[in-house]
Structure 1
Amino acid sequence: MTENPGLLLSVLAFALLIGPLVFVHEMGHYLAGRWFGVKAEEFAVGFGREIAGFTDRRGTRWKFGWLPMGGYVRFAGDMNPASQPDPEWLALPADQRARTFQAKPLWQRAIIVAAGPFVNLALAVLILGGFAVAYGASSTPPVVGGIAEGGAAASASLAEGDRIAALGGRTVETFDDIVNYVQLRPDETVRVDIVRDGVPRALDLTIGVERQADRFGNEYRIGRLGITRAAAERRPVGLLEAPLVGIQRTGDIITMMVETLTQIVTGRRSLDELGGPLRIAEASGQALSLGWPEFVTLIALISINLGFINLLPVPMLDGGHLLFYAVEAIQRKPVDPRVMDWAFRGGLAALLALMFFVTINDLGAFGVWRGLAGLIG
C-alpha cells in the first residue's frame, strides 16, 4: 500500500522549499548589486498583492506578497527584460543614472547577474558539506564483494575480488562512483576496466535494468550491475575539508543532471521523466514526511537545479544575459537592441512552452489523463 503525504503537507513543503530558494537567488543579485553601488528599487518576497512592506534608508521597497513562493529584485535602470537603455533611462539626472544597473561596467553587470545562480550553488555546497561533517564521506573501495546470480556482472564474468578501475572510460575511485554511473544507464553496453589478481583486464558489459517503487508509489527504472560492496567504509570529514567535499558532490550532481538531459535529448531516456512544479511539490511533501534530513537534501538538489538551469544560455534566464554580455565583450559594443528583443521574446516563448509541457507530464504522472479517458470511455 502506497503512502500519500497529503495535499496540505505538499503545498506547505513546496512553499518551504521554493520560497527560500528563490529568495536566496534574488538576494545574491541584490548583494552583488549593492556591492557595486547599484540602487535596488524593489525587493519582493513572494508574489501577488503586497500585504506588508517598508522602504529602507537606501530607498529600496521591501514588499511581502500574499503568495510566498519566491520573489524578485528590480534594480534602477533595469527597465526592460533585456536590460537595454531606453529614453526613460537617458532622461535620468547624471547622479541617479550613475547608480543604475546599465551605468555599470560590463564585468560588474556580469557579476551581478551571475551572483544569483552562484549563491544557489554555494548553498548546496554548504548543505552537502554539512552532511559530510555530520555523517562522514563514503570511502568504500570499488571492489566486487559479491555477484548476484543472473545479473549483468555474472553474465560478463566479473568475479568476487575484482577491482573496477573504470566504467565507459571514466575512472572510478569508490563504490559510490560505480553506483552513480550505472544507475543512469540501464540496458547500455559499456566497457569495464578491472584489475584481477594484479592484472589489468577489460570486458564489455550490458548494464541490467531494475524497476523499483518507493513507499509513495513512485516507480523508477535504474541500471544495476548485480554486485555488492566488499565492505562499507566511511571516513570522518573535518570543517576545513567540508567545503571541498561539498563542491565535489555538487559537481557530481551537476554531471548526473547533464548526462540525464543528454539522454533525454538523444532519446535514450523518456521525455516523461521531465517534471515540473507539480511533481516538485509532490516530492517536497514526500521528503518532508520522511524527516528533515531528507527534506534538506532535497533543498540542496533543487538549489543545484535552480542554479544550473539559470546559467543555461537561454534568453530570459541569467545565462542568456551572460551570453549577450560575452558577445558584447567580444565585439566591444552592445548587441543590437532589435536582436535582443527578438531573442528575449523567443526565450520567453520557449520557457512557456517548456512549462506547459512539464505540467502536462506532471498531470499524466498523477493519472489525470487516464482518469479523463476512463470518464469519456
Structure 2
Amino acid sequence: MNAVETVAGFMGGYIVPFILVLSLLVFVHEMGHYLAGRWSGIRILAFSIGFGPELVGWTDKHGTRWKLSIIPLGGYVRFYGDDDASSRPDFETLETLSDAERARTFNGAKLWKRAVTVAAGPIANFILAIAIFAVIFSIYGKPVSDPVVSEVKAGSAAEQAGFKPGDRIISVDGNSVATFTDLQRYVSMRPGIRIDARVERAGQKIDLFVTPVSTEIPDNFGNKIEVGIIGIMSNAQSGNFRVEKLNPVQALGEGALQSWHVVTGTYDYISNMIAGRMKADQLGGPIRIAQASGEMASLGIAALLQLAAVLSVSIGLLNLMPVPVLDGGHLLFYAIEAVRGRPVGPAAQEIAFRIGLAMVLSLMVFATWNDIARLVS
C-alpha cells in the first residue's frame, strides 16, 4: 500500500466519521444556544460550525451569518455585543449603544434570559443523547441477562469473598441489581472500594464483601481500558440472555437512563482519578475521538450512533464545568450576579476568562498527549 492509499484509508476510516459525528454534536449544541437566544430577543451575528477562516456561508434575513469554518473542532454562536466567540462582553462597544440597541445584546438581556440561552446548549446535547439511545432501543431492543454467576475465576477477589456458581446477585451496597450489566457497571467504577453484595443461594440470602481489583483489559479493538473487576462471569444459559422489545415510551425512558449512566460514570471516573484509584491516561482528546469514531463506524451505524450519544452527554457535561469561557463559567457568573444584584466587574471577568482559557487549553494539551502516547505504545 503506498502513501496515498494509506492517507486515503485513514481519512475514510477515521477522519470522515469523526468530522460527521463531531459536526452533528456541535450543531445541536450551538442550535440550542441559537434558538434560546432568538426566543429571548437577542440579536445573533454568526452561527459557525468550526473555527478559523470561513469556507462557505450565507447571511439570512435576520442578519445572522451561517458558516462552515476550516477547523472542524467545535463551533460557536456569536451574539450582538460579544467580543469573541466565547461570548466575552465587548465592554467598549456596549457603552456606546443606546438602551434599545443594548437590549438586543446578549449581555444587555435580562439575567434569566442569559442563563436560559447559555444552559440551552448543554441541554440540547442531553436531549440529543436521549433521543439517539431511544431510537437504538426502539429498533434493536434492550439486551438483557440475569445477574447469575456461571463461573468464578480462581484466585479472584470474588473467590476470596466466597462467591459460588449459581449465585444470583440481588443488590450491591443496597442498590438493587436487575441485570448482569447493572452489576458490571457498578463494579467497574469502584476499584479498591469494598462492596457489600447480597446474593441468593439455594433460597437463602447471603451477604458477601468483595473489593474490585483495578485491571487493564483490552476492548474489541485492542485498546487498553482500566476497570474494576471481581472475577465472575455469566453465560447464555445461567444468565438467560435475551433481547426485550421496547415500545417508544419505554425506549425513551431507557434512553434517559442510559444517558444518566454516562453522567454518573463520568463523575465516578473523575473521583477515582482524583483519589488515585484510576489513571488519568484514560482521558482522550480529538485523536482518540477520531479513532473511536472510525472503530465504531466499522461496526455499523448503530455503534456509531451509540458513540455519538455518549459523546453528546460528555460535551454537555464538559460545557457545564464552572470554568470561564465554558457555559458553566457563564452560569457561575450569573449566579454571582443574582446574589450580588449586579454583574461581576469587567476587570474580574477579563482575569477569569484568561484563567479559564488557560485551563481549557491545558486540558486539551493533556488529553492530546495521552492520545499520542496511546498511539505510540
| Aligned-residue CA RMSD (Å) | 2.3
Matched residues in 2 for 1:5 and 1:177: separation? 41
Equivalences for 1:55-134 in 2 at 5 Å?
55-79=59-83, 81=86, 83-84=88-89, 86-134=91-139
Structure 1 residues without counterparts, runs of 5 or longer: 371-377
Contact 2:78 2:87 in 1 (8 A): no
Matched residues in 2 for 1:83 and 1:261: separation? 29
Partner of 2:4: none
Partner of 1:164: 169
How far did 1:364 drift? Answer: 1.0
Partner of 1:374: none
How far did 1:96 drift? Answer: 2.4
Equivalences for 1:45-64 in 2 at 5 Å?
45-64=49-68
Partner of 2:3: none
Contact 2:171 2:198 in 1 (8 A): yes
Matched residues in 2 for 1:221 and 1:324: separation? 36
Structure 2 residue 289 is the aligned partner of structure 1 residue 280: yes
Calculate the TM-score normalised by the size of structure 1: 0.89
How far did 1:120 drift? Answer: 0.8
Contact 1:312 1:318 in 2 (8 A): yes
Partner of 1:15: 19
Partner of 2:278: 269
Cα deviations across residues 128-151 of structure 1 (Å, max 9, x unaligned)? 111111122245333334444444
Letter in 1 for 2:315: L
**From 119, 124, 140, the counterpart of 2:145:** 140
Partner of 1:204: 209
How far did 1:197 drift? Answer: 4.3
Partner of 1:32: 36
Give the secondary-structure state (helix, strand or coil) at the position aligned to 1:240. Answer: helix
Contact 1:138 1:174 in 2 (8 A): no
Cα deviations across residues 185-204 of structure 1 (Å, max 9, x unaligned)? 34543221223345433221
Matched residues in 1 for 2:267 and 2:146: separation? 26
How far did 1:215 drift? Answer: 5.1
Structure 2 residues without counterparts, runs of 5 or longer: 1-6
Change in CA separation of 1:6 and 1:188 when aligned onto 2, cut-off 3 Å: farther
Contact 1:5 1:286 in 2 (8 A): no
Matched residues in 2 for 1:222 and 1:198: separation? 32
Matched residues in 1 for 2:90 and 2:285: separation? 34
Identity of counterpart residues, as a percentage? 40
Structure 2 residue 295 is the aligned partner of structure 1 residue 289: no
Cα deviations across residues 288-318 of structure 1 (Å, max 9, x unaligned)? 1222111111111111110111011111110
Contact 2:218 2:224 in 1 (8 A): yes
**From 195, 200, 216, the counterpart of 1:195:** 200
Cα deviations across residues 71-106 of structure 1 (Å, max 9, x unaligned)? 211011223556446231132233322211122211
Calculate the TM-score normalised by the size of structure 2: 0.89
Change in CA separation of 1:50 and 1:320 when aligned onto 2, cut-off 3 Å: same
Matched residues in 2 for 1:67 and 1:341: separation? 26
Q: State how many pairs are aligned.
A: 365
